[in-house]
Amino acid sequence: MDDIQIVDLYWERSESAISETEKKYGRYCHYIAYQILENDEDAKEIVNDTLLKTWKTIPPNRPEKLKPYVGMISRQLAFNRYEEQHAKKRGQMALVLEELAECLPIGSENGDPLSGIALRDSLNTFLRGLPQKTRNIFIRRYWYASSIAEIANEYSMKESTVGMLLLRTRNKLKTHLHKEDFNV
């Protein structure tokens, strides 16, 4: 069943929309949540919460592509759970957030939706300008919170090479955002 058909089921308020979403994207949502939370039970709960939130938000939303929609929901729910559970603990997600803090704009969470949209657009422009392999590695690290070891294994690279690639890419991002007049 394709995404449009599944979204139509949500609009019809058919409960089969939930099972079709779980069948098609349950593993994807679990992967996202597990990468952030590093706990299988929590990841399973996030998948269930994602399905519930998807049910509650479609309608009024009508995403053309369901995968990024449920992925975004899973990621946000997992981040929220992470913050609740690990306020003082240090894990993979803390490392990822520390790395990104060096190159993201100061005060980017000021509540101004227009500045958030401008930042998103600038990040997308930056990512589109990267070579595909570099972009994929950057997204694996900072969207999916994959460890450097996992990325190195997947791309048959040394961990030090992945770390250096990510450092250089973060520095390029910082320069890009500075040129775009973001307060980095």
Q: Give pLDDT, residue 109.
A: 47
Amino acid at 89: K
Long-range contacts of 79-84 (CB under 8 A, 24+ apart): 79/36, 81/33, 81/36, 81/37, 81/42, 81/45, 81/46, 82/36, 82/37
Amino acid at 20: E
Mean pLDDT of 3-20: 95
Per-residue pLDDT at 108 exceeds 60: no
Instruction: Report phi then psi at 71, rounded to 5.
Output: -65, -40
* Predicted structure pTM score: 0.63
Mean pLDDT of 127-140: 95
Q: Residue 40 and residue 43: Cα distance in Å, rounded? A: 5
Burial (CB count <10 Å: 0-12, 13-18, 19+), residue 148: buried
Q: Residue 148 and residue 162: Cα distance in Å, rounded? A: 7
Per-residue pLDDT at 183 exceeds 50: yes
Mean pLDDT of 29-55: 95
Question: Which tens digit of pLDDT belongs to each residue from 142-175?
Answer: 888 888 999 999 999 999 999 999 999 999 999 9
Compute the mean pLDDT over every residue in the chain, rounded to the nearest whole number: 88
Mean pLDDT of 58-76: 94
The percentage of the chain sitting over the pLDDT mark of 70, rounded to a whole number, equals 90
Question: What count of other Cβ atoms lies within 10 Å of the Cβ of residue 160?
Answer: 10
